[in-house]
Amino acid sequence: MDLLKRLDPRLPPRREPRLRLGLRTLYILPTGLGWLWLAGVGLLLVVGVQTQTNGPLLLAFLMLGLWLLALHLTHFNLHGLELACAPPSWGFAEETVSYPLRLRSSGLCEGVHLHWVDAGGEPLVVESLRPGDHQIELPWRPRDRGEVHPGRLRLSSTAPLGLFVCWSVWHPPARQWIAPARKAGPVRELGDERPSGLGRGLAELLEAGGDDWHDLRPRRPQDSPSRLAWKLLAQGRGHQVKRFATTAPRVLVIAADPSLPRELALQHLSERLCRLHRLGVPYGLLWQGAVVGPDEGLAHRDRCLLLLAEAP
């Protein structure tokens, strides 16, 4: 495969959303075994001519015919195979991520190797692809966060005889959102604080507490209008403010630790978000003035991770 590494950068990049392998998209060269096989054919021809015997000549022509047959069989093994992208899921930097691919085969394909040229890693070997539609998860390991791309994909095969390698290089167009790497560490928990400068909306959110209230008190100028007992006010009983039970769950909003470097703080937030998601705890996120309200579930986790992945 060292020869393919040298040839891949010289091939024209193909960025079609769907790639069909054929005469214009497949390349083929002899393998090391193929060149050795051809050298053996030449040696047998020389021996047969020099000794003027038919045995070596017959064997040489048989080996040459098999060599030429392997050329077509290896090409036909990948001919007609279609590749397309499936919607990628979320991943995390510095972890193995799955990139989904859809394959449609018109015939039997054997010994298919899939390898990311730019991202590196071990190739994924598909021993056999029967006719029909298939979806595979191709692993890679992103180093950066954000909307990233694994780069070029090489698809190759040496089946059925190993004398030739047939390959193609494709640049899948779909990008994948990668969140910051997950590293456990300190974050700011604003559930029990009343920090200044966070905006009126977040301050009211932190003060709201639960939905059940148990007492009333006279309204103070700093009280939020959302806590005013409007029904009692309509009855002419004055401006009363609801008091919530101390056992009511407070809203947990997490933010970055300002004493840490930006990337390290993002990694700590990413790990804490995933931990709270697994625990099923409602939480919110504050990052550089942007607030994601408290909620739970996979969609909420992805909204929070998107905010971290897009951070400049």
What is the predicted pLDDT for the residue at 205? 45
Whether the CA torsion 287, 290, 292, 294 is positive or negative: it is: positive
pLDDT, position 207: 45
When pLDDT is averaged across residues 178-182 and rounded to a whole number, the result is 94
Give pLDDT tens digits for 245-287: 544 445 688 999 888 999 999 999 999 999 998 888 888 998 8
Which residue has tokens 């595979």? Answer: 136
Confidence of residue 39 (pLDDT cuts 50, 70, 90): very high
What integer pLDDT is reported at residue 231 of this predicted model? 74
Q: In whole angstroms, give the CA distance from residue 53 to residue 280.
A: 83
Confidence class for position 221, pLDDT limits 50, 70, 90: low
Contacts of 87 (CB under 8 A, 6+ apart): 100, 174
Interval 120-148: pLDDT, tens = 777 899 999 999 999 999 999 998 999 99
Q: Considering the entire predicted model, what is its pTM?
A: 0.70
41: left (phi over 0), alpha (psi -120 to 50) or beta: alpha
CA distance 269 to 239: 41
What's the length of the chain? 312
Q: Of residues 195 and 70, which shows the higher confidence score?
A: 70
| List of E strands, the chain | 18-20, 27-30, 82-85, 91-92, 97-105, 109-116, 124-129, 132-140, 146-148, 153-157, 164-170, 176-179, 188-189, 213-218, 240-244, 252-255, 283-287, 290-295
Asked whether the beta carbons of 233 and 240 are under 8 A apart, the reply is: yes
Residue of 138, 85, 133 whose CA lies nearest to 109: 133
Q: Where are the domains of the chain?
A: 2-179, 180-209+249-312, 213-246
